[in-house]
Structure 1
Amino acid sequence: MGTLKFHIIFSLIFLMSFSSFSQTKEQLELQRKKYRVEITKLNTLLFSEIRKEKNALEELKDIKQKIDVRNKLINTINLEAQLLSKGIRTNQRKLQKLNKSLEDLKADYAAMIYKSYKSKSQQSRTMFLLSSQNFYQAYKRLEYMKQYTSFRKKQGEEILVQAVYIKKLNDSLGYQKRVKDTLILVEKDQKAAIEVDRKKQEGLITTIKKKEGKYKREIQQKVKEEKRIAARIDKIVKEEIASANRLALSKLKDKPAATKKNEFILSPEAKALAAKFELNKGKLPWPIQEGVVVRRFGKQSHPSFPGIIINGTGLHIVTSKGSSANAIFNGEVLNILVGSGGTKNVMIRHGNYITSYNNLENSYVQKGDKIITGQKIGKIFTDKITGKTTLVFVLLQNTNKLDPASWMLRR
């Protein structure tokens, strides 16, 4: 019985450790798949279009982003391979222990079979019983013979169980080794792809260095233009808040003692909507079906000229041509702004929150329209020169800009 308990405990430890290993491995597998999907999206959305005008800075930025994702994928593959190696070593040690245990069992079983064979004749068993000095001793001898037979049977069963464990462990080892070999091949392919991208990157850097002053002036001009547009939008948001507050005050019977500047006065319905919006933080849908974030929120160094700081007021998301922007929550169209190039910016109010969908070719909604989650609000503009379809998505609480990525579902 002690031997059987040992094997049951040993097998439970094996299964528990394998389950823990699988869980961590599963997380890495999901991460690896995510990066592979992202690389596919980058290739589709950033590199599939033939650009009418070559822009070295734009190409360099796109290649850098792809190299970064490939490096993340390689790091994940390395972690997964390390985990598999550790699992293989652990299982090999367990296999050695199981094989030793099986050899001991077989030796014990062989010894029993030999002893049983020597005393297997019915005559010897009968003589063994008849030679008893009394009835009690005969009964005990009979019980011993029964127990001995039962023990032999159990040992035979244990050998079968042990053999099954060893087969499973061998299968597991074989599978893990095949997975590891596949991962090594994937890593090799990714490294080769990075080398190709790095050569392109080096060529672009050489081109940029020849006209560094020109490119820097262009970037600085774009940064100034973005600041000017952001300031204009901030001004319009403040005007819309002031206008909405005047309307709200005219409808309120009990006037508030004081109102904070540049903050919405909320009706009970608006408060409830804002509360629902806040409750959905981290669970809100993305404003596009599929896409790649090419610029994140906040201050950041320019990817080609680290000395130049750019300020991301929201997320710049590249999506496929012909895509529409979708409302991320119920609300009301606060305003529709028209840019210098004719592109539109639809602003939707959700209590004291505002979502802004900028760089639209056209809008499907009008100011004052009630909007529901997921509703299409406009077709995203596709740049004829770069071939990119980019949505600029901004989130505000009153006039305070927030990082949209922390409010939406993780991708």
Structure 2
Amino acid sequence: MKLHKLLLFLLFVTFASSAVAQSSSQLKKKKEAIQREIELLQKNLNKAAQSKKLTLGEINALNAKIRLMQSKIGVINSEIKNLDSEIHENTNTVHSLQTQLSQLKKEYAGMIRFAQRNRNSYDKMMFIFAASDFNQAYKRIKYLQQFGQYRKKQADYIQGTEKSLKYKIVILDKSLKEKSNLLKEQENEQNKLAKNKTEQASVLNKFSRQEKQFSKDIATRKRQQAAIDRQIRNAIQREIALARKRAEEEARIAAAKARADNKPAPAEKPKTTTNYLTATPEAAKLSAGFENNRGRLPWPVGSGTITENFGRHTEGQAGYTNDGVNIMTADGAAVRAVFSGDVLFVTMMQGIYVVAIRHGDYFTIYQNLRSANVAKGDKVETRQTIGTVATTSDGPMLHFEIMRGQVKLNPEAWIAK
């Protein structure tokens, strides 16, 4: 029973260690991904710093970088917590194995002493012949055989336990060194964060001195965005009008056919934008597929960081609303469709392209493209390249929006984390 319990204990420890190792591996991957984002932002910030003019994109990129650094420190803290748990568990395992080993050796020593007392064949024969009957003599023979086998097994278990103990001590030492390295990394990241917060304070101070200029820039941005929004809204309204016209024509034909066949007219669907835009089986399938992938849609660029979120923003006295997200990415990054659909329009405004794609009653809009690889009416597939991102004074930035009908949605709720 003791040996059985020991085996179960060692099995449990192995599985527990495996679970912690898997979690640690995931944290390392997350930390590496965050570091890649930080490096990409820093690369773009270094380029932006060459210009004397401070931009809103630069402020947002710096803020995003600080958020990422805080997130990285959080991951390091999780790694340390994991290691603390692993160290505690392995320390307990080492103590338990030492106790088990001591007990096994004690039992084995008892067996050796017994074997020494009955070490010659004569003693064994006397033990067997001293039996009261044949049945008892047979049992004594079996006992001696089993005793020998058990002693051998006990010796094997002692060797196995010693091996496990040495392995756990090595792992424990490794974990302690890893924790020491993580604590140094944590301190290093906190120092970097402090420097970036100082830089942030300096930038905000500079911003306050240039607030009038920023207010003008924001006003210009609002006008540009309003012009793009009008074009998007008009294009979607045309799609809705066409879909309504088709639906009404189909309903009229169906009613006329029913009258000719002397049958009751088919029940009309409620007249909603969604019903018009998903009237055809293809559009309904696209819409359902898009909706079912909420939270799992691929990013519209291969790598990047959201530097400005969806919703209301205030910079100094100036306020504005972002109807999508701004993603800072690499120079010349490919812009990809997040889902299959039909290109609603491709237009150029002030030297940059805007692409809108329809997915049933959902629409995705990709702004600030240097070039476009698609044209109105083209069918596109998920992750298909539709153009390349443009680099402006804010850096290589993609503005990405998602709409249902004419309702703006938060893209962060739809794209993969």
Identify if the C-alpha distance between structure 1 residues 378 and 54 changes in structure 2 by more than 3 Å, giving closer, same or farther.
Answer: same
Is the CA contact 2:233–2:406 (under 8 Å) kept in the aligned structure 1? no
Identify if the C-alpha distance between structure 1 residues 329 and 221 changes in structure 2 by more than 3 Å, giving closer, same or farther.
Answer: same
Q: Which amino acid aligns with 2:396?
A: T
User: Residue 57 of structure 1: CA displacement?
Assistant: 4.8
Alpha-carbon separation, structure 2, partners of 1:240 and 1:170 = 72
User: Residue 361 of structure 1: CA displacement?
Assistant: 2.6
User: Residue 381 of structure 1: CA displacement?
Assistant: 2.0
Bigger shift: residues 251-260 or 73-82:
251-260
Name 1:221's counterpart in structure 2: 219
Which of residues 308, 320, 334 in structure 2 aligns to 1:310? 320
Alpha-carbon separation, structure 2, partners of 1:135 and 1:362 = 99
Structure 1 runs of 4+ aligned residues shifted over 6 Å read none
User: Residue 157 of structure 1: CA displacement?
Assistant: 1.7
Deviations 1:334-355 (A, max 9, x none): 223332x232212222222222
Q: Which amino acid aligns with 1:271?
A: A
Is the CA contact 1:129–1:141 (under 8 Å) kept in the aligned structure 2? yes
RMSD in angstroms over aligned alpha carbons?
A: 2.9
Confirm or deny that 1:332 pairs with 2:342. Answer: yes
Deviations 1:155-208 (A, max 9, x none): 212211211221221232123223222322322221222233223223223323
TM-score normalised according to structure 2 size? 0.85
Deviations 1:65-119 (A, max 9, x none): 1111111111111121012112211211221121012112112212221221132
User: Residue 223 of structure 1: CA displacement?
Assistant: 6.2
Name 1:206's counterpart in structure 2: 205
User: Residue 230 of structure 1: CA displacement?
Assistant: 5.8
Name 2:416's counterpart in structure 1: 409
Partner SS state of residue 26, structure 1 = helix
Deviations 1:286-339 (A, max 9, x none): 22222222112223x44x54x654322112112222233222233222223332
Aligned residues, how many? 402
Deviations 1:207-244 (A, max 9, x none): 23334x42552365256436633652454245423542
Identity of matched residues, %: 27
Deviations 1:19-69 (A, max 9, x none): 333343333333222222221222234434564343065433322211111
TM-score normalised according to structure 1 size? 0.86
Identify if the C-alpha distance between structure 1 residues 90 and 308 changes in structure 2 by more than 3 Å, giving closer, same or farther.
Answer: farther
Give unmatched runs, 5+ long, in structure 2: 256-267
Name 2:261's counterpart in structure 1: none
Alpha-carbon separation, structure 2, partners of 1:143 and 1:378 = 83
Alpha-carbon separation, structure 2, partners of 1:348 and 1:206 = 41
**Pairing of 1:8-407 with structure 2 (within 5 A):** 8-48=7-47, 51-55=50-54, 57-211=56-210, 213-215=211-213, 217-218=215-216, 220-222=218-220, 224-225=222-223, 228-229=226-227, 231-233=229-231, 235-245=233-243, 248-249=246-247, 252=250, 253-254=253-254, 259-260=271-272, 264=277, 266-299=279-312, 301-302=313-314, 305=316, 308-339=318-349, 341-383=350-392, 385-386=393-394, 388-407=395-414
Identify if the C-alpha distance between structure 1 residues 348 and 234 changes in structure 2 by more than 3 Å, giving closer, same or farther.
Answer: closer
Identify if the C-alpha distance between structure 1 residues 123 and 69 changes in structure 2 by more than 3 Å, giving closer, same or farther.
Answer: same
Alpha-carbon separation, structure 2, partners of 1:93 and 1:242 = 68
